[in-house]
Amino acid sequence: MLSQQEISDRLELQDLLAAYSHALDGRDWDAFDDIFTADAIVDYTVMGGPRFEADIPAVKAYLEETMKLMVSYQHLVGTSRFRIDGDEADVRTYCFNPMVLNLGADRDPLVFFVGLWYRDRCVRTADGWRIGERVEELSYFHNFPGGRPPGAADFGTWP
């Protein structure tokens, strides 16, 4: 049976994961200051983006610029697995991410889908739980022009 502390930790971690999605989807870049530790590692390389180390202002600037290409998007998270050990937690969470890509004034927007997992290392701070490391793992792209974004990891094909 889970202790009250374990239940509280799980609920707080779920809120943290939801806060990331709401900040991203609401384009509230300053909210990231309350989601990540100052020395966080954020790795978007599997999607063709950069890896950041201890530079949340750069993460925010990157997302603000990159997400301008999208008319709309949603980061729907759920089915998290938590491994909590005191003031640290490893979390793996599913994310279903429909996005609407702006292809320019002469073309209709394109809806594509991304399936991924967030692999997070979270730490309890004086201000509550924060993400100290986030690495994205790709499951699939569907309907993205060219199959995947430029620079995204190539996982080959199924036999």
Residue 155: predicted pLDDT: 56
Residue 145: predicted pLDDT: 80
3-state DSSP assignment of residue 3: coil
* Dihedral over Cα of 133, 116, 141, 144: its sign: negative
**Residue 48 — pLDDT band, cuts 50, 70, 90?**
confident
What pLDDT, in 10s, does the model give residues 11-45? 999 999 999 999 999 999 999 999 999 999 999 99
Q: How far is CA 71 from the centre of its chain?
A: 18
**Residue 159 — pLDDT band, cuts 50, 70, 90?**
very low
| Chain mean pLDDT for the chain | 92
Q: Does domain 4-142 have CATH number 3.10.450.50?
A: yes
Q: Are strands 110-125 and 51-53 parallel, antiparallel or unpaired?
A: unpaired
The model carries a pTM of: 0.91
Which residues is 77 bridged to in the sheet?
95
Mean pLDDT of the region 57-84: 95
What pLDDT, in 10s, does the model give residues 91-114? 999 999 999 988 888 888 899 999
Domain ranges of the chain: 4-142
DSSP per residue, 88-139? EEEEEEEEEEEEEE---TTS--EEEEEEEEEEEEEEEETTEEEEEEEEEEEE
